[in-house]
Amino acid sequence: MSSDIRFTDFKSDKQPTWCPGCGDFGTMNGMMKALAETGNDPDNTFIVAGIGCSGKIGTYMHSYALHGVHGRALPVGIGVKMANPDLEVMVSGGDGDGYSIGAGHFIHACRRNVDMSYVVMDNRIYGLTKGQASPTSREDFETATTPDGPNQPPVNPKALALASGATFIAQTFSSNSQRHAEIVQEAIEHDGFGFVNVYSPCVTFNDVDTYDYFRDTIEDLDETDHDRHDREQAKDKILEGDKEYMGVLYQDENSVPFEEREGVEGSMAEIPDGAPEGAMDLVREFY
């Protein structure tokens, strides 16, 4: 790791095809800044991207990366980190990828607490398929597939995370580039699963959850007396409902990453040219 890494080193030479004004630009810039700020470089970083507008991030960033199957980015990230804990692993996807098709993996990734970060670009809409309800869309949000609204409440991902035993739960707003980058950096630095829900507005298909809406409603936890280590306070803030927060809602100070608990010591990539030493003992066990 060298100190002369700049965040632009994490940029690929592919120009993003996101709509002009898309929140994902800001989200990605913050991720790159946070990675550079934490002393990582592209050759020791692994980005896993889901499917959706957000999933394009693997193409626009420069690092080791895999853009995989819809909803399965978290398990890939877990596999990478378990096999080589020396890598910086960052998983990124959208609200559909993480809270709908991949919701099962999200819950279990929170429980498992592998040392990696998970940045979700939450725009409360399916943008890539041109505007259908997402799991975080409002109950009355009208779309082509939900003409009367979804008629079901949105998922509360922070509550899911807290209930699942997550050790780091944060929320940011892509437009506040400085705070967003700082909070993602904290997620990276956290010893365990660093979950950041990012309000990343879709300017094309969501005219309700707009930049203006978030700017007007969001409150920075740093400007309150919120104690991030207090799970009860976190629970109250997360379940409050009609308010949006920015900042670290919860952090478990005593978090020990899964791979450490499991005794994984280093990269699993190197193996001997033949059967490992002591392998014949495995045969003798069957006497």
Partner 1 sequence: MPDDLNWAIGGEAGDGIDSTGKIFAQALSRAGRHVFTSKDFASRIRGGYTASKIRTSVDRVESVVDRLDILIALTERTVHENEDELHEDSVVIYDGERSTMQDVEVPHGATALEVPLKRLAEDAGGAIMLNVVALGAACEVTNFPIENLDESLQKRFGDKGEAIVENNKKAARMGQEYVREEFDHDFPYDVETTDEDYVLLNGDEAIGMGAIAAGCRFYAGYPITPATDVMEYLTGRIDQFGGKVVQAEDELSAINMALGAARAGARSMTATSGPGIDLMTETFGLVATSETPLVICDVMRSGPSTGMPTKQEQGDLNMTLYGGHGEIPRFVVAPTTISECFWKTIEAFNLAEKYQTPVFLVSDLAMAVTEQTFSPDTFDMDEVEIDRGKVVDEDDIDAWLDEKGRFQAHFPAADGVSPRAFPGTTDGAHMTTGLEHDELGRRTEDTEVRVEQVDKRNRKVETAKEQEKFDYREFGDPDADTLVISWGSNEGAMREGMEFLSEDGIDVRFISVPYIFPRPDLTEEVQAAETTIVVECNATGQFADVIEHDVLERVERINKYTGVRFDADELAAEVKATIAGETGTQEVQAE
DSSP 217: H
CB-nearer residue toward partner 1: 105 or 226? 105
Which residues, 3 to 22, sit near partner 1 by CB under 8 A?
Answer: 12-14
One of 20, 147, 153, 276 touching partner 1 (CB under 8 A): 276
Beta partners for residue 219, in sequence order:
245
Task: Note whether 10 and 47 are within 8 A (CB).
Answer: no
Q: Which two tokens stand for residue 206?
A: 């969501």
Q: Which two tokens stand for residue 97?
A: 């990828």
Burial 162-179 (b: 16+ CB within 10 A, else e): bebebbbbbbbbbbbbeb
CB-nearer residue toward partner 1: 7 or 64? 64
Site stretch for partner 1 (CB under 8 A), options 18-26, 41-49, 189-197, 223-231: 41-49
Q: Which two tokens stand for residue 24?
A: 């994902």
One of 19, 66, 128, 163 touching partner 1 (CB under 8 A): 66
Told to check if 42 binds partner 1 by CB under 8 A, we report yes
Told to check if 99 binds partner 1 by CB under 8 A, we report no
Told to check if 58 binds partner 1 by CB under 8 A, we report yes
Task: Note whether 238 and 156 are within 8 A (CB).
Answer: yes
Task: Note whether 194 and 235 are within 8 A (CB).
Answer: no
Told to check if 82 binds partner 1 by CB under 8 A, we report yes
* Residues making contact with partner 1 (CB under 8 A): 12-14, 42-48, 58-59, 61-69, 71-72, 74-84, 86-87, 104-105, 107-108, 262-276, 278-280, 282-284, 286-287
